[in-house]
Amino acid sequence: MKTVFLFPGQGAQYPGMGKDLWEKSDAVKDLFRLASGVMGLDMKKLLFEGSAADLKTTDKAQGAITLVNLSAAAFLRDRGVVPGAAAGFSLGEYAALVTAGVIDAEAVFSLVKFRGEVMEAASRALDTAEGPPGMTAVMGLDLPDVRDALAAAGIADVYAANYNSPVQTVLSGAAAALGRAEAALAAAGARRCIRLAVSGPFHSPLLAQARTAFEAELEKYSFADPALTVYSNVTGKPVASGGEAKRLAGEQITSAVLWVDIEKNVKAAGCAGVLEAGPGTVLAGLWKALFPEQPCLAAGTVEAILKISGQ
């Protein structure tokens, strides 16, 4: 039976995240120094002194969240908690790839820096007078009902981007299109539609330009075969090789996140413990929706990790 690390993605960020980990761990301090050098930003200042607005833009958020995800994983290892499998939600997949030995931390900070920049540029090209593109979480409807409601309303320019749970689907689209979709889904019985704290229409064909640029950048990097089981957002299944991991990293930008499939496959493979290694508790909530009998424990702070490790 394995302990599984789940890493959150963009939208989980908050000012001050990771500060307690930095204060208690030399390994975390090393990660902050590495990330600051590669990203060309003072990550300590950004995370500990920056505002929510500073952390929202894609080019900054991706490095910041990846840094805190890896910091949580490092502190867990410091306390003797070692994963046997890993998965990450959207951006979180990059911390999972590091955890599985597919890429190293220096490479991942370089990659997420580039990824954030091209995704931010592609997103800003979609800004309109109505506002920036983005994402909306639809609560209370399953994926087929969401798609049926959008089709019935004639809304073709909004995409199902994240399959989070049987009663939560996240949509991507331009600002006006998302507004129309929210109204149509409310009329179809959605309990609530929540705009997410992101600045782009992620995991949709709207970011095709970013995917093309990122796939060219990926060719500069070597991806090793996974040293432990790591799951893909694109397929919901374990990644078989470094070559597959590289290909899926490009596809992930425009493909839906099959998080429900990942959760089901993690559970079916057997897991002694499931930990959300990173900021917030979003993934713990999604896990609970499927498997309330086995909680996913928050593991993104010193207090939580010490409790998990019995220290």
Which one of 123, 203, 204, 255 is the catalytic residue?
203
pLDDT band at 220 (very low <50, low <70, confident <90, very high): very high
Q: Answer yes or no: 90 catalytic.
A: yes
Residue 56: the pLDDT is 81
What CATH number does domain 2-125+205-309 carry, 3.40.366.10, 1.10.10.2160, 3.30.70.270, 3.40.920.10?
3.40.366.10
Average pLDDT over residues 13-39: 96
Percent of the chain with pLDDT over 90: 86
What's the pTM?
A: 0.93
In the chain, CATH 3.30.70.250 sits at 134-195
Residue 15: the pLDDT is 94
Q: Tens of pLDDT along 224-282?
A: 999 999 999 999 999 999 999 999 999 999 999 999 999 999 999 998 899 999 999 99
Q: Tens of pLDDT along 47-103?
A: 999 999 888 887 888 899 999 999 999 999 999 999 999 999 999 999 999 999 999
Architecture of domain 134-195: 2-Layer Sandwich (3.30)
pLDDT of 311 > 80? The answer is no
Count CB-CB contacts under 10 A for residue 81. 20
Which one of 90, 165, 199, 232 is the catalytic residue?
90
Average pLDDT over residues 282-301: 94
In the chain, CATH 3.40.366.10 sits at 2-125+205-309
Q: Tens of pLDDT along 110-154?
A: 999 999 899 999 999 999 998 899 999 999 998 899 999 999 999
Residue 1: the pLDDT is 63
Residue 309: the pLDDT is 87
Residue 145: the pLDDT is 92
Q: Tens of pLDDT along 163-219?
A: 999 889 999 999 999 999 999 999 999 999 999 877 899 999 999 999 999 999 999
pLDDT of 291 > 90? The answer is yes
